[in-house]
């Protein structure tokens, strides 16, 4: 899966393996009252067996670098609140069946077209 925001508010990752490759890449929006402008902090988090990572999936643009030589296993918990269970209509087809979202059309497959 490429760079994305999660549909749920809170995402928890339980890492089952320790890896020296394929870190989780995160673009975290930062701000501080003492600073005029906000900024983006780029982070790379490497999986460590037994570690739990909690993030606001809707606010953090993220993906994982691909594995090359190692196997990476993690359990993903996506927490929705009862009053807020929004999922884009194409989301499950995209994630589970690889069908491009209707809003992106055929070019979502990355094919070169004139």
Q: Which residues bind Fe ion (CB under 5 A)?
A: 6
Residue for token digits 């087809």?
93
- For Fe ion, the closer CB: 37 or 89: 89
- For Fe ion, the closer CB: 17 or 74: 74
Closest of 38, 39, 45, 2 to residue 21, by C-alpha: 45
CB of 7 to Fe ion, least distance (A): 9
In whole angstroms, what is the distance from residue 61 CA to residue 72 CA?
20
CB of 92 to Fe ion, least distance (A): 14
Q: Which two tokens mark 6?
A: 């999660």
- For Fe ion, the closer CB: 6 or 47: 6
Give φ, ψ of 103 to 5 degrees. Answer: -70, -20
CB of 57 to Fe ion, least distance (A): 6
């Amino acid at each position: 899966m490429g760079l994305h925001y999660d549909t749920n508010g809170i995402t928890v990752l339980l890492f089952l393996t320790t890896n020296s490759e394929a870190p989780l890449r995160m673009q975290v929006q930062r701000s501080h009252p003492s600073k005029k402008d906000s900024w983006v902090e780029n982070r790379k988090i490497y999986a460590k067996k037994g570690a739990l990572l909690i993030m606001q999936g809707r606010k953090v643009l993220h993906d994982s670098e691909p594995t090359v030589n190692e196997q990476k296993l993690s359990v993903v918990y996506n927490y929705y609140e009862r009053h807020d269970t929004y999922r884009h209509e194409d989301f499950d087809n995209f994630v589970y069946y690889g069908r491009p979202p209707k809003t992106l059309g055929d070019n979502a497959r990355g094919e070169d077209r004139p």
